[in-house]
């Protein structure tokens, strides 16, 4: 079958694109590893229009509920591996099969940046994680470390101080970044210790994590921690995009109509070079991409 449209990703951009595509009666599918993307990792969200306060998982549930009302076909737990032209159409190869469509929206978001230190791979999912919202409850009453100093690290720390015995925030720069209100909350919390100018050198453990090595003020130190949360930023999930043009950071380059350099291929959300990465911006970009895909299909029919 040749679909009108394939949407890769089901975060705010992909889900919003799906809602708009469904309302335009397009014949399409959504291919995704998971529902919600980075939004599901967020603890407290206070800047999404219409909600003075909502958790990331709750907002994801709202998004998914809205999308499911249209009986959208979602291919879950499926990783996009290659995008290529097939005559006038576009083929998407995934971990489970191959699909073809007349147009494509890439809304695959970002993936966690890794530390690249000894012990990281060995202890992944054995005390080391990249998602405080997902795994934080497993570390109730334990000492944990959050690696990073931006908003994602601060959000993780604020979630974990409610659960853990103590939270160490390991920040490589001289001071915390992120939003001032979040910095102030972390720095004022008795259960949080911020270690600036500190670089992680190793992850230690036996069967599970029991500590991290850091270098601070020219000296090597070891901090006892039974949980390590890596929050050092994200990388665009665009490696499968083939001939789609990307910038030096790996972000897909788009114009104001969400068009890429390949006719019929659009992109939206955090995987693109849109300068600000926010849930509300990703959702808006998803709607734009779907509307432009609809216009493109009308031109080629």
Given its phi and psi angles, is residue 212 left (phi above 0), alpha (psi -120 to 50 degrees) or beta? beta
Are the CB atoms for 186 and 194 separated by under 8 Å?
yes
3-state SS, the chain, equals CEEEEEEECCCHHHHHHHHHHHHCCCCEEEECCCCCHHHHHCCEECCECCECCEEHHHHHHHHHHHHHCCCCEEECCCCEEEEEEECCEEEEEECCCEEEEEEEEECCCEEECCCCCCCCCCCECCCEECCHHHHHHHHCCCEEEEECCCHHHHHHHHHHCCCCCEEEEECCCCCCCCCHHHHHHHHHCCCEEEECCEEEEEEEECCCEEEEEEEECCEEEEEECCEEEECCCEEECCHHHCCCCECCCCCECCCCCCECCCCCEEECHHHECCCCCCHHHHHHHHHHHHHHHHHHHHHHC
Catalytic residue, candidates 4, 88, 134, 190: 134
Q: Is 179 annotated as catalytic?
A: no
Distance CA 126, CA 119 (A): 11
Q: Is 131 a catalytic residue?
A: yes
| Phi–psi pair at 190, nearest 5 degrees | -65, -20
Among 4, 58, 88, 135, the one annotated catalytic: 135
Rounded distance between C-alpha atoms, residue 67 and residue 32, angstroms: 14
Residue of 4, 34, 88, 131 with catalytic role: 131
Q: Catalytic residue at 135?
A: yes
Among candidate residues 163, 160, 164, 165, the one with its CA nearest the CA of residue 186? 160
Q: Indicate which residues carry an active-site annotation.
A: 131, 134-135
């Amino acid at each position: 079958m040749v679909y009108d449209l394939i949407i890769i990703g089901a975060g705010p951009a992909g889900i919003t694109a799906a809602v708009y595509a469904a309302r335009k009666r397009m014949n399409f599918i959504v291919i995704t590893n998971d529902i919600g993307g980075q939004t599901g990792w967020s603890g407290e969200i206070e800047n999404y229009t219409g909600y003075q306060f909502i958790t990331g998982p709750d907002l994801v549930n709202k998004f998914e509920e809205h999308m499911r009302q249209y009986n959208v076909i979602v291919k879950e737990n499926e990783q996009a591996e290659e995008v290529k032209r097939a005559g006038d159409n576009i083929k998407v190869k995934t971990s489970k099969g191959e699909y073809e469509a007349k147009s494509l929206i890439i809304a695959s978001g970002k993936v966690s940046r890794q530390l690249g230190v000894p012990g990281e791979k060995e202890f992944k999912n054995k005390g080391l994680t990249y998602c405080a919202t997902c795994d934080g409850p497993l570390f109730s009453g334990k000492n944990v470390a959050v690696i990073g100093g931006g908003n994602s690290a601060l959000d993780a720390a604020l979630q974990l101080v409610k659960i853990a015995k103590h939270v160490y925030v390991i920040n490589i720069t001289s001071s915390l970044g992120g939003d001032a209100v979040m910095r102030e909350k972390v720095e004022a919390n008795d259960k949080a210790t911020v270690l600036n100018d500190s670089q992680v050198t190793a992850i230690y453990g036996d069967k599970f994590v029991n500590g991290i090595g850091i270098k601070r003020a020219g000296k090597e130190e070891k901090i006892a921690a039974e949980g390590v949360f890596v929050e050092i930023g994200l990388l665009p999930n665009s490696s499968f995009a083939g001939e789609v043009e990307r910038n030096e950071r790996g972000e897909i380059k788009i114009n104001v109509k969400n068009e890429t350099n390949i006719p019929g291929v659009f992109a939206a959300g955090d995987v693109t070079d849109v300068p600000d990465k926010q849930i509300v911006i990703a959702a808006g970009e998803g709607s734009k991409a779907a509307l432009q895909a609809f216009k493109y299909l009308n031109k080629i029919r």
